[in-house]
Amino acid sequence: MAKRKPPSLAEFLDRFPDDGACETYLAARRWPDGFVCPACGGVKGWKLDRDRETWECAACGRQTSVTAGTVMHRSKIALHRWFLAAHLMATHSNGISALQLQAQLGLGSYKTAWLMCHKLRRAMVDPDRDPLGGIVEIDETSIVCRTKDEPVAGGQGRSSIGKILVVGAVELLEDGRPGRARLARIPDFQAVTLHRFVGQSVERGSTVVSDGLQAYRGLRDVEHERRVVGGMAAHILMPWIHRVFSNFKRWALGTLHGLRKQHVDRYLNEFVFRWNRRAHRRAAFDTLLGLATRLPHASYRNFVERTV
């Protein structure tokens, strides 16, 4: 599988030199055949004289901006900066932390960068995604987390360092290479928990490959192959899910400087998003801007309180 090269920063800047270019792009994605009113379906309207391209419907009077229904909705940040943030998140194989984003975009506050990161991450999960299929490796692991303001490394402050449990799955393509993956935080390694994950993530009739853990016994609607060969290490028996786990852990330490428990789900989703699109980074860019998933507006408070 030849990986298509992600667009370079120079290419990006040529394509999107300013806010106007970003608006034109959004309008073309949104209304490929000309303006359509989201309220009444009317196709007659006029462009208003606003900062951001906005149309008023001739039939019902509703005003719609090109950013309505995207992660950029109601944001005071220039479109060009949003586009650059999505470019960086989609093309960097390791993504980008809020601190790095603040520096790269020259943003005044960390809070602004943090909120941009979270808004973009929110666009990363497609609620209609298809389950994994074919041969699917499944395994579970635990990941060290840090609590607020605690450094991740070192055994000092042992009481504040916790672990989260994660289950993961990756499908194998016909050429033996890994396809799409899924990761989920789970409360325990009990059978009911792991079976639920398999039910949600793996298509019926697929073949699930696991280690010898008893909890995987009795999986329904899938073939089940247990790989237990003497004392052979799990990363040899199931190499790809172990690659996924180790890449995730390295990313969590390197880019994120350790995981915080309260945001683990978003980070798992972000990792999976990039893993699943590592050969389709251009499409990932559209998705990140919220063009592929229509999202209602969410505020800083929504993210902090985890109500979105």
Does 56 bind Zn ion (CB under 5 A)? Our answer is: no
Closest CA to 185 of 168, 173, 169: 168
- How many chain residues interact with Zn ion (CB under 5 A)? 8
CA pair distance 138, 73, nearest whole angstrom: 38
Q: Which two tokens stand for residue 37?
A: 């009113």
Q: For Zn ion, which residue of 59, 228, 232, 304 counts as binding (CB under 5 A)?
A: 59
Residue selected from 22, 26, 37, 89 as contacting Zn ion according to rule CB under 5 A: 37
Q: Does position 39 bind Zn ion by CB under 5 A?
A: yes
Distance in Å, CB of 39 to Zn ion, minimum: 4
Based on the shown chain and the rule CB under 5 A, indicate whether residue 62 belongs to the binding site for Zn ion: yes
> How far is Cα of residue 151 from the mean position of the Cα atoms in its chain?
25
CA distance 121 to 268: 10
Does position 63 interact with Zn ion (CB under 5 A)? The reply is: no
Residue 57 binding Zn ion, by CB under 5 A: yes
DSSP string, 253-295: HHTSSSEEGGGHHHHHHHHHHHHHTTT-HHHHHHHHTTSSS--
Q: Is 273 exposed, middle or buried (0-12, 13-18, 19+ CB in 10 A)?
A: buried
Candidate list 9, 60, 103, 232; residue touching Zn ion; CB under 5 A: 60
Give the CA distances from residue 180 to residues 99, 210, 273, in Å, rounded to whole numbers and listed in that order: 29, 17, 9
Which DSSP symbol is given to 159? G
Rule CB under 5 A: say whether 42 interacts with Zn ion.
yes
Q: Does 237 bind Zn ion (CB under 5 A)?
A: no
Give the interface segment with Zn ion, choosing from 24-32, 42-50, 98-106, 178-186 (CB under 5 A): 42-50
Contacting range for Zn ion; rule: CB under 5 A; set: 17-25, 35-43, 71-79, 124-132:
35-43
Minimum distance of Zn ion from residue 34's CB (angstroms): 14
Residue ranges that bind Zn ion, judged by CB under 5 A: 37, 39-40, 42, 57, 59-60, 62
